[in-house]
Amino acid sequence: MAPKKILGKGKASRVAESVEKEGWRVSKCSDFHLLGLVEENLLQPRELVHWQKALGDAPPRKGTNKTVIFYSHVMQGFGIPTSYFFRGLLHHWGIQVHHLTPNTILHISIFVHLCEAYLEIEPHFDLF
């Protein structure tokens, strides 16, 4: 999808052109937004999970040890599971969280609960 262009000259037309890039809107998420999520206990502190703002980025940047999440998803209750088993499972499968459906995440959580609460063992990939 090509960026939308508005006819005309001047600052307003340049701003409109930069609103969309490669089909993605430019991010407006700043430290202010993210620190607000930390205050509401919806996001872990920067020192713990090393999050960074995406202000001005389009499309979202990802890297080997990065997970891209959206502010609106966090506001609706999405959180990053932080168990060693879950992160290990993602690494074992070679995928990222956004590749999973909500039902898949639910099944993984149920499996972890089954192992820890009823079987009293550590969850393991071979059992899953």
* pLDDT tens figures, 72-86: 778 877 776 567 788
* pLDDT tens figures, 45-69: 877 777 776 666 666 666 666 667 7
- Model confidence pTM above 0.95: no
Which of 4-13, 60-69, 101-110 is the least confident region? 4-13
C-alpha to C-alpha distance for 29 and 56, rounded to whole angstroms: 8
Locate the domains of the chain by residue range. 1-76, 81-128
Mean pLDDT (the chain, rounded): 75
3-state SS, 47-62, equals: HHHCCCCCCCCCCCCC
